[in-house]
Amino acid sequence: MKIGKLIVAVLLLVTLWTPLHSEQADGITHRRIRVVIDPGQGGRDPGAIGIDGVHEADINLAIGRLVFLKALTDPLIEIILTRSDDRFIAPIQRALFANEIRADLFVSIHGNGFYNPQAHGIETLIHTTAGQESYLLAATIQRHLIGSLGARDRGVRRQFLFIRRAQMPAVLVEVGFVSNPVEGRLLQTFAHQSQIATAILAGIREFATTHSHLLGSATATR
């Protein structure tokens, strides 16, 4: 973990020296796609308690911060975090925040927990009545995660979720089971967290470039 923190610090230093907006050939500075990354749980809500007593909230936060850092120099994507430390925010407030800042996409990051320690794999959730935009975003991120990590593919699933309040394509990624002895320990390593962050970002980037007409709170039906 100490090496992980050092790498994060170095990444942050390097990226602070690079411009945050891309100059295109025409000399116009274009607005980047605004993506809210929401590290689930936090503060008095630790989420699922996993193997070795790990808190889901801490894993969510570590991955969310890495997505943010990896996108700092991205000419296409701007990441805004709902939380960057261990604090409680009511779920609905996170979705309303994304609406307030007129985000183009909303991605919540969570870890799964189950009483059966054998449960494992990655799934991406969308709200029960979510539209095609959210489904496409979920399927794209899920494909990148499974392709990169080789984890068990639990697919895209529909559930009644707080992200229904987000007025833009919105998904909730379950990056693995903190309750599984193998997956739960992997999820605590910097290398694995970094690989997940890279895959989530790749999925967002692919969606943003191939479905740019589906972006934004003005056009999305959820």
CB of 31 to Zn ion, least distance (A): 31
Q: Which of 39, 47, 64, 176 binds Zn ion (CB under 5 A)?
A: 47
Size of the site for Zn ion (CB under 5 A): 4
User: x/- string (CB under 5 A) for Zn ion, residues 97-126?
Assistant: -------------x----------------
| 105: three-class secondary structure by DSSP | strand
Q: Is 165 in the site for Zn ion (CB under 5 A)?
A: no
Q: If binding is defined by CB under 5 A, does position 184 make contact with Zn ion?
A: no
Report the nearest approach of Zn ion to the CB of residue 56 (Å): 5
Stretch that binds Zn ion, among 27-35, 42-50, 62-70, 75-83 (CB under 5 A): 42-50
Exactly one of 40, 50, 91, 203 binds Zn ion (CB under 5 A); that residue is 40
Residues of the shown chain interacting with Zn ion in the complex, contacts defined by CB under 5 A = 40-41, 47, 110
